[in-house]
Each structure stands twice: as structure tokens, then as C-alpha cells.
Amino acid sequence: MKLGVYPGTFDPITHGHTDIIARSLRVFDRIIVAVAHNPSKRPIFDVAERVEMVKLVTKDFAHVNVEAFDGLLVDYVRRHEAHAVIRGLRATSDFEYEFQMALINRKLDDKVETVFLMPSEEYSYLTSSIIKEVASLGGALKDFVHPEVAERLRHRLRRPIQ
């Protein structure tokens, strides 16, 4: 039974994240989506709201659990006896940061492997930050996020419905 942990801020979950979850289910038997508190990133949704949205978006996937997490990722991975950390790699912008994180995590615990998955091309430019920007300017969100997530973004950013 191969278990993967997919950590992130998910502020909010986009189709890019969902694409990575779907792909990781081809490699792992079970996935835990670990939603980090990450106050340093100043998320617009609190962790409970982010967990709720990930649960909603992944409700039709079997073998996906969603949890909030705080603290060191390697401790979390060890505690759950997971086999690997899953991260998504977009175009080129993610590489340096992801490389650094993977090597630091390996230094902290050399049994923790990181697996990188590439999203579908259509999502390779998608970030939660750009979606928040589009939402705050009143742009259409339907190609990027689940309709309920779009609704919550509009509500949070107090823009009229498109």
C-alpha cells in the first residue's frame, strides 16, 4: 500500500492542484492532501475553509484524505508512515524552490523521498495567487477553479458575480 502526502497551502485549491491529485492516484494507492496553516503566506481563507474546499473538490476521488497540518513536513510524513511527498512542477518557475525544499527535507530525514508530477499543459501557468488576482478584479474563474471555490473567492474578495 503506497501512501503519498501532497502538502500545500491550497489558498484556494485550483484545477492545477486537482490535476496533480488525479495523477498521483495513478502512482499511489492512497493520498493525504495536507493543508498547511502557513500564516507566513497570509492566506485569505483560514485552514478550516481550505480543508473544506479541498474535501468538496475531491469528494468523488476514492482514496483521498484531506487534513490540516502544522509543523515540520518530515515529521508529518513519518507519523503517517507515508512513502513519499508529492509536489507539482509548473513550467520552470517552481524548480529552484522545489529542489531546495526536497533536499532540505531529505537532510532532515533521509528516508523521505519527494516525487514531482507535471500538470496538464493547460494548468501549467495556474497559481492560487494569480486566481486571487483575477477574482479581485472581477474576472471569470470557471476555467480555473471549482464553481463553489469561485463563489467563495468572489464572496471573500467582495466582487460582484460575473
Catalytic site includes residue 17 = yes
Task: Determine if 69 is a binding residue for ligand ADP (CB under 6 A).
Answer: no
Residue that the C-alpha cell 532540505 belongs to: 104
Closest distance between ligand ADP and the C-beta of residue 101, in Å? Answer: 8
For residue 159, indicate whether it is catalytic: no
Among residues 23, 55, 80, 90, the one annotated as catalytic is 90
Question: Near ligand ADP by CB under 6 A, which window of 4-12, 22-30, 77-85, 149-157?
Answer: 4-12
CB-nearest residue to ligand ADP: 16
Output 39 or 138, the one with its CB closest to ligand ADP: 39
Whether 142 sits among the annotated catalytic residues: the reply is no
Query: What is the rounded CA–CA span in Å between residue 84 and residue 145?
Result: 26
Catalytic residue IDs? 17, 41, 90, 128
